[in-house]
Chains A and B, each alone.
Chain A
Amino acid sequence: MSIPLSWYLILAATLFCIGLFGVLSRRNAIAILLGIELMLNAVNINLVAFWRYRDPAQMAGQVFAVIVFAVAAAEVAVGLALIISVYRRSNTIVADDIDLMKW
């Protein structure tokens, strides 16, 4: 008929792994934030795909996806504000250099 569910799941997993890799490997804080966005959207794909294939009568999957958007938007707003604030204080946005909390 059309594309099976597993393809979506594979796409989402791939996207999540790319995002995770970005979060773990990039030094730039903004890039880390971008990685997190990728991970969130991978989850969204999962949510929407499961909704469409398993329980299209209900709205739960779509609602969840919308909530994740809202959280992601809020998270980006807060995260970017923090990054700007950190940049103003220490003139850097390299995550490894921001180690004030170190023992």
Chain B
Amino acid sequence: MENYIIWLLPLPPLLSFFLIILFTNKNKKISHSIAIGAAGLSWLGSMAVFICALGVKEFGKHVYGSAINWLPTGTTWFKIGVMIDPLSAAVVFFVAWTVLAIFIYSVGYHNFGQPKGDHDIAGLPPHGATITDQHGHQHTVPSIEPMYSRFFAFISLFAFGMYTLVVSDNLLTLFVGWEIMGLCSYLLIGFWFGKPSARNAAVKAFMTTRIGDVFMLLGIAFIYSFTGSLSFRDIFKPGMLQALASTPAFFGLSAAGIIGLLLFIGTVGKSAQWPLHVWLPDAMEGPTPVSAMIHAATMVSAGVYMVIRMFPLISAGWTVGMPLNTTMGVIAFIGAFTALFAATIAVAQNDIKRVLAYSTISQLGFMIAALGIGAYVAAAFHLVTHAFFKALLFLGSGSVIHGMEHGEMHTGDHSVDPQDMFNMGGLRRRMPITFWTFLIGGFALSGFPILTAGFWSKDEIFAEAFGNGHMVVFIVLAVAAFLTAFYTMRQITLTFFGKPRTEVAEHASESKWTMTLPLIVLAVFAVGCGWVGIPEKFPVLGGILPNWFHEFVGSTLAEVPKAVTFSWTPLLTSLCVALGGLFCGWLAYRKVQSPVEDKLQIPLLKNKYYFDELYNFLFVKPAGWFSEKFAYLFMDRTVIDGILHSVARFSLFLGGFFRNKIDKPVINEFIGDGTGNVVKASGSRLRKIQAGRIQYYMVASVAFLVIFALLYYYLIGGM
């Protein structure tokens, strides 16, 4: 039974996409009802599967799944199917919740129920509508998004991609879901395509992730050519893994290592790890629910999910305590480096969403680094908790921006950037629900001790790094965690504390219930979902609740990883960096009034280490030059056009030859006119014999009769 429900999980959003696109796009209310209904159905199915999975003993050994023959490959079949094992059960859990929350949030975010804008056009954010109340006063109020239905269609398709990816039991359908999300990411980042910045961001996101995808596809092709199967269950058979690990490939790496690296490059693109991180901050051009959905809760998580999924392959031949193999080393390095690198950039950003974007990159780096050092469960744990609190933070920031825009409409001052944190301040009184939920999300992100989910997952990463002796990773992540706490508090302080810095912030207002309800739900998870993974040896709290998450997700692996032995050092580090970072952030920014007073506005950090400029110089400009000078001017204009022109000229010559030398003299004059002339001439000659005199005819008849008679007689009859 559960085996077949899994097939149905991705379907409602897909259906919703087609229904909205084909039929209901004119009606905003029906469109969002269909989309939310579909998300609700998927949510219901996911919860059913998840709860059933909880009831199965040793679920990792008895996973749900079914597969069908799909493509005949000679005498065998290529199978596709679905599977829910402990890891995907955990992922589908947070996907279902965040997707549903974001769908509901989008209704409020896109101003459903508000009048149409005065001069809104499709492709640009709504500008607001003017209404007159019963006293004759004119007010500017938010106006509904012109492409409301289209938005719900796209995020439905997006949800379909994510569900497909999670329930897949093979790399092929996983890749299909992966690419659908890539497409939706492009469509949604460029949702307001009237803005050049949004267009560029969409193209940038698509191109950058494509680089990773190409390598990932290579990895998939390699794995298929080696094993003849893409199904996880086939690949992860011990014998197969051993064969992969012991077959040497290139560069001194085993086949498993190469495949792992190629697939990991896909993750680098999708999860925005250095050096392919550049697209994610720009992706903030999309509407905020998109930022929450794509760039926090689901799509970037998909990259991490995939690499966690492939962990048995990546770590083939490696056991806990051994030195890391090359692939894992690379993964750990990229992850740790990205975690620190993105955290330093986030410190100097002023756009509320960009800070969160860099923090996402940084947190994904934590997960990747955790996986790189073999902390499988810790990586999965952080993936789940991060999805909740990052979705919460993004939706919270959207609510803040919405409140600020409301303030803008109230004051009529449109020169203030509603996303710049230095224009905010004091919003905790104006937007209490947003403030409290954002605070919870921010504390979870910082790893505020004991209470929040982020603490437990981050602590587990620290414990694993320290316990297994990966000191470099441990220290780098600790510094990154300190910076995380610091910039989170900076963000909260600048946004919510102190006094309003602009008149706009003074008139900001709390958002509607459709926006705050998802915030509250996600806040509950941002706190609560950490409690399922409290280490058993933890002082005081350990053992009150069983470390369920470790048992559950750990059982995905053939051999359940042992929980790391408890040590005070990582715990104290974790406490210090979280609390210290939060305190420093508050201390440094409680009185800052303008960017000028901010001492961390270092150009190097502010400009993101000039990576955009560097890539522009290294890749975009040469590519532009290449396409202009070589592809266009040389290849297209000279070579291709030259060939085409020569062909045309030759054809013209050939045509002329046929016309002047064949058609005109031979066909027209000789055959055409010639026949006519001969007939005419012979006719005018022959008509003379038509004298009209009967006796001439008679003579002629008799003469011919005599001639033929004689001929007959002498030639035939006479014989």
A interface residues with partner B (beta carbon < 8 Å):
20, 23-24, 32, 95-96, 98-103
Residues of B within 8 A of A102 (CB): 690-693
Q: Does B415 contact A (CB under 8 A)?
A: no
Q: Which single residue of chain A is at the shortest CB-CB distance from B693?
A: A96
Residue contacts A-B, CB under 8 angstroms, 11 given: A24-B698, A24-B699, A24-B702, A95-B693, A95-B694, A99-B691, A100-B692, A102-B690, A102-B692, A102-B693, A103-B687
In the complex, A96 Cα to B691 Cα: how many Å? 10
Contact B694 A98 (CB under 8 A): yes
Q: Does B695 contact A (CB under 8 A)?
A: yes
Shortest Cβ gap from B105 to chain A (Å): 102
Residues of A within 8 A of B687 (CB): 103
Residues of B within 8 A of A103 (CB): 687, 690, 692
- With most chain A CB atoms within 10 A of its CB, the pick from B695, B699, B702 is B695
Residues of B within 8 A of A95 (CB): 693-695
Contact B692 A101 (CB under 8 A): yes
Q: Which single residue of chain A is at the shortest CB-CB distance from B692?
A: A102
In the complex, A99 Cα to B699 Cα: how many Å? 16
Residues of A within 8 A of B691 (CB): 99, 102
In the complex, A98 Cα to B696 Cα: how many Å? 13
- The B interface is mostly helix, strand or loop, or mixed, namely helix
Contact A24 B692 (CB under 8 A): no
Residues of B within 8 A of A20 (CB): 702
Q: Which single residue of chain A is at the shortest CB-CB distance from B689?
A: A103
Of the candidates A23, A100, A101, the one whose C-beta lies within 8 Å of that of B698 is A23
Shortest Cβ gap from A40 to chain B (Å): 15
Q: Which of B664-706 contact A (CB under 8 A)?
A: 687, 690-695, 698-699, 702
Contact B693 A23 (CB under 8 A): no
Residues of A within 8 A of B694 (CB): 32, 95, 98
In the complex, A103 Cα to B688 Cα: how many Å? 8
Shortest Cβ gap from B428 to chain A (Å): 119
- With most chain A CB atoms within 10 A of its CB, the pick from B687, B692, B699 is B692
Shortest Cβ gap from A32 to chain B (Å): 8
Contact A23 B692 (CB under 8 A): no
Contact B692 A99 (CB under 8 A): yes
Tally inter-chain residue pairs, CB-CB below 8 A. Answer: 27
In the complex, A23 Cα to B699 Cα: how many Å? 9
Residues of A within 8 A of B695 (CB): 23-24, 32, 95-96
In the complex, A1 Cα to B485 Cα: how many Å? 158
In the complex, A20 Cα to B703 Cα: how many Å? 12
Given A100-B692, A101-B692: 13 more A-B contacts, CB < 8 Å:
A23-B698, A24-B695, A95-B694, A96-B693, A98-B694, A99-B691, A99-B692, A99-B693, A102-B691, A102-B692, A102-B693, A103-B687, A103-B690
In the complex, A100 Cα to B693 Cα: how many Å? 9
Residues of A within 8 A of B690 (CB): 102-103
Q: What size tier do the contact residues of chain B reach?
A: 10 to 19
Shortest Cβ gap from B120 to chain A (Å): 89
Q: Which single residue of chain A is at the shortest CB-CB distance from B694?
A: A95
Q: Which single residue of chain A is at the shortest CB-CB distance from B687?
A: A103
Shortest Cβ gap from A17 to chain B (Å): 11
What mask results when residues 306 to 329 of chain B are scored 1 for a CB within 8 Å of chain A, else 0? Answer: 000000000000000000000000
In the complex, A99 Cα to B694 Cα: how many Å? 8
A-B CB proximity, top 8 nearest: A102-B692, A99-B692, A103-B687, A103-B690, A101-B692, A95-B694, A96-B693, A24-B695
In the complex, A26 Cα to B698 Cα: how many Å? 12
Residues of B within 8 A of A96 (CB): 693, 695
Residues of A within 8 A of B699 (CB): 24
Shortest Cβ gap from B385 to chain A (Å): 113
Shortest Cβ gap from B216 to chain A (Å): 93
Q: Which single residue of chain B is at the shortest CB-CB distance from A20?
A: B702
Shortest Cβ gap from A68 to chain B (Å): 19
Q: Which single residue of chain A is at the shortest CB-CB distance from B688?
A: A103
What mask results when residues 406 to 430 of chain B are scored 1 for a CB within 8 Å of chain A, else 0? Answer: 0000000000000000000000000
Shortest Cβ gap from A28 to chain B (Å): 11
Residues of B within 8 A of A100 (CB): 692
Residues of B within 8 A of A99 (CB): 691-693
Residues of B within 8 A of A24 (CB): 695, 698-699, 702
In the complex, A101 Cα to B687 Cα: how many Å? 12
In the complex, A95 Cα to B696 Cα: how many Å? 10
Shortest Cβ gap from B91 to chain A (Å): 103
Shortest Cβ gap from B682 to chain A (Å): 14
In the complex, A95 Cα to B695 Cα: how many Å? 8
In the complex, A95 Cα to B694 Cα: how many Å? 7
Residues of A within 8 A of B698 (CB): 23-24
Shortest Cβ gap from B520 to chain A (Å): 113
In the complex, A15 Cα to B383 Cα: how many Å? 132
In the complex, A84 Cα to B416 Cα: how many Å? 122
Shortest Cβ gap from B542 to chain A (Å): 129
In the complex, A82 Cα to B693 Cα: how many Å? 16
Residues of A within 8 A of B693 (CB): 95-96, 99, 102
In the complex, A32 Cα to B699 Cα: how many Å? 13
Shortest Cβ gap from A99 to chain B (Å): 4
In the complex, A24 Cα to B692 Cα: how many Å? 14
Shortest Cβ gap from B21 to chain A (Å): 81
Q: Which single residue of chain B is at the shortest CB-CB distance from A29?
A: B694
Shortest Cβ gap from A13 to chain B (Å): 13
In the complex, A20 Cα to B692 Cα: how many Å? 19
Residues of A within 8 A of B692 (CB): 99-103
Q: Which single residue of chain B is at the shortest CB-CB distance from A100?
A: B692
- With most chain A CB atoms within 10 A of its CB, the pick from B687, B691, B694, B702 is B694
Q: Which of B641-659 contact A (CB under 8 A)?
A: none
Q: Which single residue of chain A is at the shortest CB-CB distance from B699?
A: A24
In the complex, A20 Cα to B695 Cα: how many Å? 11
In the complex, A98 Cα to B694 Cα: how many Å? 8
Residues of B within 8 A of A32 (CB): 694-695
Shortest Cβ gap from B164 to chain A (Å): 91
Q: Which single residue of chain B is at the shortest CB-CB distance from A35?
A: B698
Residues of B within 8 A of A98 (CB): 694
Shortest Cβ gap from B695 to chain A (Å): 6
Q: Which single residue of chain A is at the shortest CB-CB distance from B686?
A: A103
In the complex, A93 Cα to B690 Cα: how many Å? 20
Residues of A within 8 A of B702 (CB): 20, 24
Q: Which of B483-521 contact A (CB under 8 A)?
A: none
Shortest Cβ gap from B684 to chain A (Å): 10
Q: Which single residue of chain A is at the shortest CB-CB distance from B690?
A: A103
Q: Which single residue of chain B is at the shortest CB-CB distance from A96?
A: B693
In the complex, A3 Cα to B61 Cα: how many Å? 135
In the complex, A52 Cα to B323 Cα: how many Å? 139
Shortest Cβ gap from A55 to chain B (Å): 22
In the complex, A95 Cα to B699 Cα: how many Å? 14
